[in-house]
Amino acid sequence: MDRTRKRKPVPKHPQIKTASGRSLACYPAAVLAFIVDSYDRCLLLRKPGQHGWEVVSGALEPGETVTEGVLREVLEEAGLQVVHSLGVLDTFTFVFDANQPPLISICCLIRYRGGEIRPGGDAKDAEFKWWDLREIDDIDLIVPKGRWDLLTRAVDMSHFLRDAAEPEEEPRREFF
């Protein structure tokens, strides 16, 4: 009996050479915006013709920093100008297209500070909704595919950072 396993095709990675001659693989990068409001809800969108929900996301453009790219995507897709980037929540690789190397997905935590949602770019005519974590078990999350844990982590981290910025008042100490 032949026990050889079928190997999944692995896309070839473009490579670059450093000045010292070392070869490095090149990966395209995507940014995913986990936008959390003051009620600990996550903003998700559903594009026309799709059944599932997704976070605001898109490819990082040449010359952009991660922060510049994620804020550009938030502005393009949701029209939100009043947000604050809190940092990177997670990273993972994802095969978007079998003809391309896997994408490096950079998940960014964004705090919503207000402003009207105005879908634009490739999210034109999309439906937007603020989701409470208690509701997300019943939805089809397509970006990032099935990663409800990242929505939970985004809310937890946003809550933690908000509490750290607004420390509780120290209890009074009585001295006798």
Average predicted confidence (pLDDT) for the chain: 87
pTM above threshold 0.85: no
Domain annotation for the chain: domains and CATH numbers:
25-162 (3.90.79.10)
What Cα–Cα distance (Å) separates residue 160 from each residue in 66, 88, 106, 112, 124? 22, 14, 20, 15, 33
pLDDT tens digit string along 145-173? 989 899 999 999 998 998 887 665 555 55
148 membership: H or E segment, kind and range: helix 148-165
Alpha-helical runs (H) found in 9-141: 66-78
Q: What is the arithmetic mean of pLDDT over 72-88?
A: 91
114: left (phi over 0), alpha (psi -120 to 50) or beta: left
pLDDT of residue 153: 96
Q: What is the arithmetic mean of pLDDT over 94-120?
A: 90
Among residues 111, 123, 116, the alpha carbon closest in space to that of 73 is found at: 123
Residue 85 is encoded by which pair of tokens?
């980037």
pLDDT tens digit string along 2-17? 566 666 655 567 888 9
| Cβ atoms of 26 and 103 closer than 8 Å | no
Residue 106 neighbours by CB distance under 10 Å: 19
Using alpha carbons only, give the angle 26, 32, 36 rounded to the nearest 5 degrees: 155
pLDDT of residue 139: 86
